[in-house]
Copies of this chain bind each other. A is one copy, B any other.
Amino acid sequence: MLEHIVLGILYDQPHTGYEIKKEIDETIGIMYRASFGSLYPMLKKLCSKGLITETDSSDTAESGRIKKYYQSTEKGKTYFHTWLTAPMEFPDSIENQLGKVYFFSMLTPPERTEQFAGYEKSISQFRTKLEEMHEACMAKPDSEHDYYHGALVYYGQTLIDNLTRWCALVKKQKELK
């Protein structure tokens, strides 16, 4: 996840590690929490993979302060776009699924339409699965323990229904309030 978020943030503007962290905290932070302990090693890793490049601020003589700017390479952009257009599917976590939506402005309208269509299909398939589970639960509705098991499955259903409604709104770029 972090890998893709970083590439997304660096897509058209260079950032320092510190700036990336701040950006994440203030935006997708609801879905994904980053820590310096994972971020800095990730930047090194992406460099060694050739997906981003590092520019030391001392090179550009900006100031005496050591500051490292990272920017995406063409390879990194391609890699990111491949991820962004790849299907969003269950049972991947909602956080991972919606983390992708955060970058949907980087898709062309047709790509976006296709992503939503695939996602909605995947959601409805999962809903069917949950209905089967719910029936299986109802088949033995005796103990208190079974009640709470049923409650979890029921939660899953309400979550899916909520996600479906949300999807329909966002897809049409309607005002959200």
Which positions in A face B, CB cutoff 8 Å?
Answer: 27-28, 30-31, 33, 91, 93, 95, 98, 101-106, 130, 133, 143-145, 147-156, 158-159, 162-163, 165-166, 170, 173, 176-177
Contacts and interface: CB of A to CB of B under 8 A. Distances in A.
Contacts of A147: 105, 173
Contact of A148 (B93, B104, B159): B104
* Copies of this protein, total: 2
Contact of A101 (B31, B33, B143, B148): B148
A166 B176 contact: no
A177 to B, nearest CB: 8
Contact of A91 (B33, B106, B156, B170): B33
A154 B133 contact: no
Contact of A162 (B28, B148, B158, B177): B158
7 contacts: A93-B95, A102-B148, A105-B145, A147-B173, A148-B170, A150-B176, A154-B166
